[in-house]
Amino acid sequence: MADRTATGPKDAGSFAERAIADSRATMPPHLFDATMELYEQGRIEPRLVNGEYGWGLVGQGGMNG
Task: Confirm if 46 and 54 have CB atoms less than 8 A apart.
Answer: yes
Among residues 2, 16, 17, 46, the alpha carbon closest in space to that of 57 is found at: 46
> Residue 23 — pLDDT band, cuts 50, 70, 90?
very high
CA distances from 6 to 10, 21, 28 (A): 9, 10, 17
Euclidean distance between CA atoms 19 and 25, whole angstroms: 10
Q: What is the pLDDT of residues 31-61, one digit of tens each?
A: 999 999 999 999 999 998 888 899 999 987 6
pTM reported for the whole predicted model: 0.71
Among residues 50, 40, 54, the alpha carbon closest in space to that of 7 is found at: 40
Rg of the chain over all Cα atoms, to the nearest angstrom: 11
